[in-house]
Protein backbone atom coordinates (compact mmCIF):
# COMPACT_ATOMS: atom_id res chain seq x y z
CA UNK A 1 0.00 0.00 0.00
CA UNK A 2 2.80 2.40 0.88
CA UNK A 3 4.47 1.80 -2.47
CA UNK A 4 1.18 2.40 -4.31
CA UNK A 5 0.65 5.67 -2.45
CA UNK A 6 4.14 6.82 -3.35
CA UNK A 7 3.51 6.08 -7.04
CA UNK A 8 0.16 7.92 -6.95
CA UNK A 9 1.68 10.91 -5.14
CA UNK A 10 4.58 10.94 -7.58
CA UNK A 11 2.17 11.04 -10.51
CA UNK A 12 0.23 13.85 -8.90
CA UNK A 13 3.40 15.89 -8.40
CA UNK A 14 4.47 15.26 -12.00
CA UNK A 15 1.02 16.25 -13.29
CA UNK A 16 1.06 19.41 -11.18
CA UNK A 17 4.51 20.38 -12.42
CA UNK A 18 3.55 19.71 -16.04
CA UNK A 19 0.32 21.68 -15.77
CA UNK A 20 2.20 24.52 -14.10
CA UNK A 21 4.78 24.53 -16.88
CA UNK A 22 2.37 24.66 -19.84
CA UNK A 23 0.08 27.65 -20.24
CA UNK A 24 -2.83 25.67 -21.67
CA UNK A 25 -5.15 28.66 -22.07
CA UNK A 26 -2.70 30.85 -23.99
CA UNK A 27 -1.40 27.92 -26.05
CA UNK A 28 -4.88 26.84 -27.13
CA UNK A 29 -6.00 30.34 -28.02
CA UNK A 30 -2.75 31.09 -29.81
CA UNK A 31 -2.99 27.88 -31.84
CA UNK A 32 -6.59 28.64 -32.83
CA UNK A 33 -5.68 32.14 -34.02
CA UNK A 34 -2.60 30.87 -35.85
CA UNK A 35 -4.46 28.03 -37.59
CA UNK A 36 -5.95 30.11 -40.47
CA UNK A 37 -2.53 31.54 -41.35
CA UNK A 38 -0.89 28.11 -41.18
CA UNK A 39 -3.62 26.57 -43.36
CA UNK A 40 -3.29 29.35 -45.94
CA UNK A 41 0.42 28.59 -46.14
CA UNK A 42 -0.23 24.89 -46.68
CA UNK A 43 -2.91 25.52 -49.32
CA UNK A 44 -1.04 28.14 -51.34
CA UNK A 45 2.50 26.90 -50.76
CA UNK A 46 3.55 30.53 -50.33
CA UNK A 47 6.36 30.75 -47.74
CA UNK A 48 5.39 34.31 -46.79
CA UNK A 49 2.39 32.95 -44.86
CA UNK A 50 4.70 30.99 -42.60
CA UNK A 51 6.99 33.99 -42.25
CA UNK A 52 4.21 36.27 -40.97
CA UNK A 53 3.02 33.81 -38.32
CA UNK A 54 5.15 35.69 -35.82
CA UNK A 55 2.92 38.72 -36.36
CA UNK A 56 -0.22 36.75 -35.48
CA UNK A 57 1.16 35.53 -32.17
CA UNK A 58 2.83 38.87 -31.34
CA UNK A 59 -0.38 40.84 -31.85
CA UNK A 60 -2.25 38.25 -29.78
CA UNK A 61 0.23 38.53 -26.88
CA UNK A 62 0.13 42.32 -26.94
CA UNK A 63 -3.69 42.29 -26.96
CA UNK A 64 -3.88 39.77 -24.13
CA UNK A 65 -1.08 40.92 -21.84
CA UNK A 66 -1.45 44.67 -22.35
CA UNK A 67 -5.25 44.44 -22.23
CA UNK A 68 -5.70 46.22 -25.54
CA UNK A 69 -9.19 47.13 -26.71
CA UNK A 70 -10.16 46.36 -30.35
CA UNK A 71 -9.04 49.80 -31.52
CA UNK A 72 -5.75 49.31 -29.69
CA UNK A 73 -5.22 45.95 -31.42
CA UNK A 74 -5.88 47.53 -34.80
CA UNK A 75 -3.54 50.44 -34.07
CA UNK A 76 -0.83 48.05 -32.89
CA UNK A 77 -1.12 46.11 -36.15
CA UNK A 78 -0.78 49.30 -38.20
CA UNK A 79 2.28 50.36 -36.20
CA UNK A 80 3.91 46.95 -36.73
CA UNK A 81 3.24 47.24 -40.48
CA UNK A 82 4.71 50.76 -40.77
CA UNK A 83 7.76 49.91 -38.66
CA UNK A 84 8.30 46.72 -40.69
CA UNK A 85 8.47 48.70 -43.95
CA UNK A 86 10.91 51.19 -42.44
CA UNK A 87 13.12 48.48 -40.95
CA UNK A 88 13.15 46.44 -44.17
CA UNK A 89 14.15 49.47 -46.25
CA UNK A 90 16.89 50.35 -43.73
CA UNK A 91 18.62 46.98 -44.10
CA UNK A 92 20.24 48.12 -47.34
CA UNK A 93 22.84 50.18 -45.45
CA UNK A 94 24.39 49.48 -42.02
CA UNK A 95 24.06 53.10 -40.86
CA UNK A 96 20.34 53.30 -41.61
CA UNK A 97 19.79 49.89 -39.98
CA UNK A 98 21.46 51.10 -36.78
CA UNK A 99 19.39 54.28 -36.71
CA UNK A 100 16.13 52.44 -37.39
CA UNK A 101 16.90 49.82 -34.71
CA UNK A 102 17.76 52.44 -32.08
CA UNK A 103 14.65 54.51 -32.80
CA UNK A 104 12.48 51.39 -32.61
CA UNK A 105 14.07 50.40 -29.29
CA UNK A 106 13.49 53.88 -27.86
CA UNK A 107 9.84 53.87 -28.92
CA UNK A 108 9.20 50.37 -27.58
CA UNK A 109 10.56 51.30 -24.13
CA UNK A 110 9.02 54.79 -24.07
CA UNK A 111 5.56 53.27 -24.49
CA UNK A 112 5.83 51.96 -20.92
CA UNK A 113 5.17 55.53 -19.80
CA UNK A 114 1.53 54.60 -20.48
CA UNK A 115 1.72 51.78 -17.94
CA UNK A 116 3.77 48.75 -16.89
CA UNK A 117 1.57 46.42 -18.92
CA UNK A 118 2.48 48.24 -22.13
CA UNK A 119 5.92 46.63 -21.95
CA UNK A 120 4.31 43.61 -23.64
CA UNK A 121 3.15 45.79 -26.54
CA UNK A 122 6.61 47.32 -26.87
CA UNK A 123 8.30 43.94 -26.80
CA UNK A 124 5.93 42.39 -29.30
CA UNK A 125 6.30 45.30 -31.65
CA UNK A 126 10.09 45.04 -31.69
CA UNK A 127 10.14 41.26 -32.19
CA UNK A 128 7.91 40.90 -35.28
CA UNK A 129 9.29 44.04 -36.92
CA UNK A 130 12.93 42.99 -36.54
CA UNK A 131 12.52 39.28 -37.29
CA UNK A 132 10.18 39.74 -40.26
CA UNK A 133 12.28 42.56 -41.74
CA UNK A 134 15.49 40.50 -41.55
CA UNK A 135 13.77 37.45 -43.04
CA UNK A 136 12.29 39.57 -45.83
CA UNK A 137 15.64 41.17 -46.63
CA UNK A 138 17.31 37.75 -46.76
CA UNK A 139 14.72 36.62 -49.31
CA UNK A 140 14.85 39.76 -51.44
CA UNK A 141 17.15 38.09 -54.03
CA UNK A 142 18.54 41.37 -55.34
CA UNK A 143 15.18 43.17 -55.52
CA UNK A 144 14.59 46.56 -53.96
CA UNK A 145 14.06 46.08 -50.23
CA UNK A 146 11.24 48.62 -50.04
CA UNK A 147 9.38 46.91 -52.90
CA UNK A 148 9.88 43.50 -51.31
CA UNK A 149 8.53 44.87 -48.04
CA UNK A 150 5.44 46.23 -49.78
CA UNK A 151 4.74 42.77 -51.24
CA UNK A 152 4.85 41.25 -47.75
CA UNK A 153 2.71 43.98 -46.14
CA UNK A 154 -0.72 42.58 -47.21
CA UNK A 155 0.22 39.19 -45.74
CA UNK A 156 1.26 40.92 -42.51
CA UNK A 157 -2.11 42.64 -42.15
CA UNK A 158 -4.01 39.46 -43.05
CA UNK A 159 -2.07 37.49 -40.43
CA UNK A 160 -3.33 39.88 -37.73
CA UNK A 161 -6.98 39.70 -38.81
CA UNK A 162 -7.84 36.64 -36.64
CA UNK A 163 -6.67 38.55 -33.55
CA UNK A 164 -8.52 41.71 -34.56
CA UNK A 165 -11.76 39.77 -35.12
CA UNK A 166 -11.32 37.83 -31.88
CA UNK A 167 -10.75 41.06 -29.95
CA UNK A 168 -13.86 42.66 -31.43
CA UNK A 169 -15.94 39.52 -30.75
CA UNK A 170 -14.78 39.56 -27.13
CA UNK A 171 -15.70 43.24 -26.87
CA UNK A 172 -19.19 42.58 -28.24
CA UNK A 173 -19.68 39.65 -25.88
CA UNK A 174 -18.78 41.73 -22.84
CA UNK A 175 -20.90 44.61 -24.05
CA UNK A 176 -24.05 42.79 -25.11
CA UNK A 177 -24.10 39.61 -23.04
CA UNK A 178 -22.18 40.49 -19.89
CA UNK A 179 -23.44 44.10 -19.88
CA UNK A 180 -19.93 45.29 -19.03
CA UNK A 181 -19.29 49.01 -18.97
CA UNK A 182 -16.28 50.79 -20.43
CA UNK A 183 -15.18 53.67 -22.61
CA UNK A 184 -16.71 52.24 -25.76
CA UNK A 185 -15.05 51.26 -29.01
CA UNK A 186 -12.82 54.37 -29.02
CA UNK A 187 -10.76 53.12 -26.05
CA UNK A 188 -7.23 51.85 -26.76
CA UNK A 189 -6.96 49.75 -23.58
CA UNK A 190 -9.30 48.03 -21.18
CA UNK A 191 -7.35 49.24 -18.13
CA UNK A 192 -5.58 52.36 -16.89
CA UNK A 193 -2.17 52.18 -15.21
CA UNK A 194 0.44 54.54 -13.75
CA UNK A 195 3.66 55.00 -15.75
CA UNK A 196 6.34 52.32 -15.37
CA UNK A 197 9.22 53.32 -13.06
CA UNK A 198 12.68 53.81 -14.53
CA UNK A 199 11.35 54.54 -18.01
CA UNK A 200 14.07 57.05 -18.91
CA UNK A 201 16.86 54.77 -17.72
CA UNK A 202 15.37 51.97 -19.77
CA UNK A 203 15.28 54.17 -22.87
CA UNK A 204 18.96 55.08 -22.49
CA UNK A 205 20.04 51.47 -21.84
CA UNK A 206 17.98 50.11 -24.75
CA UNK A 207 19.24 52.76 -27.17
CA UNK A 208 22.90 52.11 -26.29
CA UNK A 209 22.60 48.31 -26.24
CA UNK A 210 20.69 48.09 -29.51
CA UNK A 211 22.98 50.67 -31.12
CA UNK A 212 26.09 48.61 -30.35
CA UNK A 213 24.46 45.29 -31.32
CA UNK A 214 23.06 46.68 -34.59
CA UNK A 215 26.45 48.18 -35.42
CA UNK A 216 28.12 44.79 -34.96
CA UNK A 217 25.45 43.10 -37.06
CA UNK A 218 25.45 45.72 -39.80
CA UNK A 219 29.14 46.39 -40.31
CA UNK A 220 30.59 42.96 -39.53
CA UNK A 221 28.10 40.84 -41.51
CA UNK A 222 27.00 38.74 -38.55
CA UNK A 223 24.65 35.92 -39.51
CA UNK A 224 21.06 36.25 -38.28
CA UNK A 225 21.34 39.87 -37.13
CA UNK A 226 17.90 39.67 -35.53
CA UNK A 227 19.13 37.23 -32.87
CA UNK A 228 21.98 39.52 -31.84
CA UNK A 229 19.98 42.77 -31.81
CA UNK A 230 16.95 41.36 -30.03
CA UNK A 231 19.10 39.62 -27.42
CA UNK A 232 20.62 43.00 -26.55
CA UNK A 233 17.21 44.67 -26.38
CA UNK A 234 15.40 41.93 -24.48
CA UNK A 235 17.65 42.15 -21.43
CA UNK A 236 16.49 45.74 -20.85
CA UNK A 237 13.49 44.87 -18.68
CA UNK A 238 13.01 47.97 -16.52
CA UNK A 239 15.10 47.10 -13.44
CA UNK A 240 18.43 45.47 -12.67
CA UNK A 241 17.02 42.43 -10.84
CA UNK A 242 14.75 41.27 -13.65
CA UNK A 243 17.43 42.14 -16.23
CA UNK A 244 19.90 39.80 -14.53
CA UNK A 245 17.29 37.05 -14.42
CA UNK A 246 16.47 37.57 -18.10
CA UNK A 247 20.17 37.50 -19.01
CA UNK A 248 20.69 34.26 -17.08
CA UNK A 249 17.60 32.60 -18.58
CA UNK A 250 18.62 33.49 -22.13
CA UNK A 251 22.14 32.18 -21.65
CA UNK A 252 20.88 28.91 -20.15
CA UNK A 253 18.17 28.55 -22.79
CA UNK A 254 20.60 29.07 -25.66
CA UNK A 255 23.42 26.85 -24.44
CA UNK A 256 21.06 24.02 -23.51
CA UNK A 257 18.46 24.38 -26.27
CA UNK A 258 20.79 24.74 -29.27
CA UNK A 259 22.87 21.56 -28.64
CA UNK A 260 19.69 19.62 -27.87
CA UNK A 261 18.14 20.85 -31.12
CA UNK A 262 21.26 19.98 -33.09
CA UNK A 263 21.17 16.45 -31.71
CA UNK A 264 17.49 16.00 -32.57
CA UNK A 265 17.82 17.65 -35.98
CA UNK A 266 20.40 15.12 -37.15
CA UNK A 267 17.76 12.36 -36.98
CA UNK A 268 14.84 14.34 -38.43
CA UNK A 269 13.68 13.90 -42.06
CA UNK A 270 14.35 16.82 -44.39
CA UNK A 271 10.83 17.59 -45.60
CA UNK A 272 9.20 20.98 -46.35
CA UNK A 273 6.10 20.14 -44.28
CA UNK A 274 8.26 19.54 -41.22
CA UNK A 275 9.93 22.94 -41.66
CA UNK A 276 6.49 24.57 -41.85
CA UNK A 277 5.39 22.79 -38.68
CA UNK A 278 8.58 23.79 -36.90
CA UNK A 279 8.00 27.43 -37.83
CA UNK A 280 4.55 27.35 -36.27
CA UNK A 281 5.85 25.55 -33.19
CA UNK A 282 8.58 28.16 -32.72
CA UNK A 283 6.16 31.08 -32.58
CA UNK A 284 3.81 29.15 -30.28
CA UNK A 285 6.63 28.78 -27.73
CA UNK A 286 6.04 32.50 -27.11
CA UNK A 287 2.76 31.58 -25.39
CA UNK A 288 3.12 27.88 -24.54
CA UNK A 289 5.15 28.03 -21.32
CA UNK A 290 4.84 29.81 -18.02
CA UNK A 291 8.60 29.84 -17.37
CA UNK A 292 10.70 31.99 -19.68
CA UNK A 293 13.85 29.86 -19.48
CA UNK A 294 11.91 26.80 -20.67
CA UNK A 295 10.17 28.74 -23.44
CA UNK A 296 13.41 30.25 -24.70
CA UNK A 297 15.26 26.94 -24.49
CA UNK A 298 12.51 25.23 -26.50
CA UNK A 299 12.58 28.04 -29.06
CA UNK A 300 16.36 27.75 -29.46
CA UNK A 301 16.08 23.97 -29.85
CA UNK A 302 13.37 24.29 -32.52
CA UNK A 303 15.44 26.90 -34.38
CA UNK A 304 18.40 24.52 -34.40
CA UNK A 305 16.23 21.65 -35.67
CA UNK A 306 14.73 23.87 -38.40
CA UNK A 307 18.15 25.03 -39.58
CA UNK A 308 19.39 21.46 -39.93
CA UNK A 309 16.16 20.18 -41.51
CA UNK A 310 16.37 23.02 -44.06
CA UNK A 311 19.63 21.50 -45.28
CA UNK A 312 22.19 23.78 -43.64
CA UNK A 313 25.33 22.49 -41.98
CA UNK A 314 24.83 21.14 -38.48
CA UNK A 315 27.16 23.67 -36.86
CA UNK A 316 25.31 26.56 -38.50
CA UNK A 317 22.92 26.31 -35.56
CA UNK A 318 25.80 27.45 -33.33
CA UNK A 319 25.21 30.98 -34.59
CA UNK A 320 22.06 31.05 -32.49
CA UNK A 321 23.89 30.45 -29.21
CA UNK A 322 26.78 32.76 -30.13
CA UNK A 323 24.51 35.65 -31.16
CA UNK A 324 22.33 35.24 -28.06
CA UNK A 325 25.39 35.22 -25.81
CA UNK A 326 26.99 38.31 -27.39
CA UNK A 327 23.73 40.26 -27.51
CA UNK A 328 22.75 39.35 -23.95
CA UNK A 329 26.14 40.42 -22.61
CA UNK A 330 25.86 43.74 -24.45
CA UNK A 331 22.39 44.28 -22.99
CA UNK A 332 23.29 43.48 -19.37
CA UNK A 333 26.43 45.65 -19.52
CA UNK A 334 24.42 48.70 -20.52
CA UNK A 335 21.65 47.97 -18.02
CA UNK A 336 24.16 47.78 -15.17
CA UNK A 337 26.11 50.78 -16.44
CA UNK A 338 23.04 52.96 -16.85
CA UNK A 339 21.74 51.98 -13.43
CA UNK A 340 25.11 52.76 -11.83
CA UNK A 341 25.28 56.21 -13.45
CA UNK A 342 21.67 56.98 -12.49
CA UNK A 343 22.25 55.97 -8.86
CA UNK A 344 25.41 58.07 -8.75
CA UNK A 345 23.62 61.13 -10.12
CA UNK A 346 20.74 60.73 -7.68
CA UNK A 347 23.16 60.33 -4.78
CA UNK A 348 25.17 63.43 -5.74
CA UNK A 349 22.16 65.73 -5.79
CA UNK A 350 21.81 68.08 -2.81
CA UNK A 351 19.70 66.22 -0.29
CA UNK A 352 19.53 63.28 -2.68
CA UNK A 353 18.56 59.97 -1.16
CA UNK A 354 18.75 56.67 -2.94
CA UNK A 355 15.33 55.07 -3.34
CA UNK A 356 14.70 51.71 -1.70
CA UNK A 357 15.24 48.68 -3.96
CA UNK A 358 12.23 47.32 -5.80
CA UNK A 359 10.86 43.99 -4.65
CA UNK A 360 9.21 42.12 -7.54
Same structural domain for residues 170 and 89?
Answer: yes
Same structural domain for residues 139 and 264?
Answer: no
pTM of this structure: 0.89
Same structural domain for residues 310 and 189?
Answer: no
The CA distance from 119 to 122, in Å, is 5
Same structural domain for residues 182 and 235?
Answer: no
**What SS3 state is found at 22?**
strand
In three-state form (DSSP H/G/I as H, E/B as E, the rest C), the secondary structure along 133-157 is HHHHHHCCCCCCHHHHHHHHHHHHH
Tell me the residue range of the domain where 62 lies.
24-196
- The torsion defined by the Cα of 338, 100, 250 and 259, in degrees rounded to 10, comes to -140
Q: Is residue 10 part of a domain?
A: no
Do the beta carbons of residue 315 and residue 218 sit within 8 Å? no
Do the beta carbons of residue 108 and residue 123 sit within 8 Å? yes
**Number of structural domains found in the chain:** 2
Same structural domain for residues 185 and 233?
Answer: no
Same structural domain for residues 231 and 189?
Answer: no
Same structural domain for residues 182 and 33?
Answer: yes
Same structural domain for residues 147 and 274?
Answer: no
Q: Is residue 206 part of a domain?
A: no
DSSP per residue over 280-303, as a string?
HHHHHHHHHBSSHHHHHHHHHHHH
Q: Is residue 231 part of a domain?
A: yes
319 alpha-carbon distance from chain centroid: 19
Same structural domain for residues 166 and 67?
Answer: yes
User: 168 to each of 1, 33, 78, 94, how far by Cα in Å?
Assistant: 55, 14, 16, 40
The CA distance from 73 to 56, in Å, is 11
**What SS3 state is found at 237?**
coil
Residue in 260, 234, 211, 264 with CA at minimum distance from that of residue 325: 234
Query: Computed from CA positions of residues 108, 110, 112, 114, in that sequence, does the dihedral angle turn out positive or negative?
Result: negative
pLDDT tens sequence for the chain (360 residues): 555 555 445 555 445 445 689 999 999 999 999 999 999 999 999 999 999 999 999 999 999 999 999 999 999 999 999 999 999 999 989 999 999 999 999 999 999 999 999 999 999 999 999 999 999 988 776 568 889 999 999 999 999 999 999 999 988 887 777 666 555 567 888 888 888 888 899 999 999 999 999 999 988 777 788 999 999 999 998 788 999 999 999 999 999 999 999 999 999 988 889 999 999 999 999 999 999 999 999 999 999 999 999 888 777 788 888 999 999 999 999 999 999 998 888 775 544 443 443 433
Do the beta carbons of residue 167 and residue 68 sit within 8 Å? yes
The CA distance from 288 to 301, in Å, is 15
Same structural domain for residues 109 and 236?
Answer: no
Same structural domain for residues 135 and 241?
Answer: no
Same structural domain for residues 152 and 234?
Answer: no
Amino acid sequence: MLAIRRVVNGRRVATYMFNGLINNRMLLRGAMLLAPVFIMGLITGNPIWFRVEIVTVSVFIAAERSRLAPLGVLLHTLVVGCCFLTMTASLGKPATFVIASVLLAIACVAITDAGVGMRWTGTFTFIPVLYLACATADGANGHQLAQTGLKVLPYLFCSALPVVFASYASYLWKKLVCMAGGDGWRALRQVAEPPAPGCFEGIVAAALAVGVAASLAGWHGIHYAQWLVWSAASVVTGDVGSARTKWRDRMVGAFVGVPAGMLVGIFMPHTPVLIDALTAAMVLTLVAFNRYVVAFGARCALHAVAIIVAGHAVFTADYRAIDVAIGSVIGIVFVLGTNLVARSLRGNRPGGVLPPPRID
